[in-house]
Structure 1
Amino acid sequence: MTLDEKLERFAVLRDTMEGLRAEKDALGEEIKAAMLRGAKPECELYRASLRTTRTPVYPVDRFREVYGDAATFEVAKIDNKRVKELVEAGDLDGDGLHKIAEVEERHSLYLVAKTQEKEAV
């Protein structure tokens, strides 16, 4: 196979994978939405499972109201890791954080092989 042929094959594979990834992502979003409404999809080999992660988000305007300009500037982009560091260092009073936190939820779709379920029992 020549280098030009390899490049052509590479391009075909890349385009195929991108198309499949887009289709997979769209199907995943539809399945997750249905599961959030209570559906429990499964097929012969797999059962769908949702895992939810929750991440607190600190809106800049509320953070500034509670902690002031200097602290807001210190964490310019309200970064959870940096906020925790400032609390641990005693530079921020951590008690008020839960009052201003907003929680982002992300849902991840997992396939659980039914054969693995049987082995685990």
Structure 2
Amino acid sequence: MTDPTLEELLERYATLRDTLQGLELERDELAAQIKAALQTGARPETELYRAELKVSRRVEYPLDRFRDVFGDAAALEVASVDRKKAEALAKSGDLDAERLRELALVKEVQALVLVPKTR
């Protein structure tokens, strides 16, 4: 048996990529439908799994309000960096920590989780 040619490898790769993308799209659509049902009180489960919603929270600081409170220099320093940078500046005393907490927006993200059922 000979090794596959580079073109054959590329063809197989493209087939796998296209298949995975199609499956991911279908998975995301199914997850959206299941999440919507869970939010209305449904409790779907199979022989092996129970579906639950896992809620996580993400803190964000709106740039326009952050700039109004802390000024252009501080906004420029944290604008391209995540909340950890702003919180580090508050911890070091460069920003007022209390005002930063008041400015924070907490966003919730819901993820579909399959919980294995134990027998």
TM-score range, shorter chain: 0.7 to 0.9
Any idea what SS the aligned residue of 2:65 has? Answer: helix
CA distance in 2, matches of 1:9, 1:68: 54
Give 2:64's aligned amino acid. D
CA positional deviation for 1:35: 1.5
Q: 1:2 aligns with which of 4, 7, 15?
A: 4
Compared CA separation, residues 16 and 78, structure 1 to 2 (3 A): closer
Q: Hey, what does 1:79 align to over in structure 2?
A: 82
Q: 1:26 aligns with which of 4, 20, 29?
A: 29
Identity %: 51
CA distance in 2, matches of 1:41, 1:70: 51
Q: Hey, what does 2:52 align to over in structure 1?
A: 49
CA distance in 2, matches of 1:40, 1:104: 24
Residue 67 in 1 paired to residue 70 in 2? Answer: yes
Q: Are the counterparts in 1 of residues 90 and 100 from structure 2 also a CA contact under 8 Å?
A: no
Instruction: Report the more deviating stretch, 9-18 or 54-63.
Output: 9-18
Instruction: Report the more deviating stretch, 30-39 or 83-92.
Output: 30-39
Q: 1:103 aligns with which of 102, 106, 109?
A: 106
CA positional deviation for 1:89: 0.8
**Which whole-Å deviations, capped at 9, do the CAs of 1:43-62 have from their partners, x for residues lacking one?**
12110121111111101111
Q: Are the counterparts in 1 of residues 54 and 110 from structure 2 also a CA contact under 8 Å?
A: yes
**Structure 1 gap ranges (5+):** none
CA positional deviation for 1:78: 5.7
CA positional deviation for 1:97: 2.0
Any idea what SS the aligned residue of 2:19 has? Answer: helix
**Which whole-Å deviations, capped at 9, do the CAs of 1:45-100 have from their partners, x for residues lacking one?**
11012111111110111112221222212212362110111011100011012322
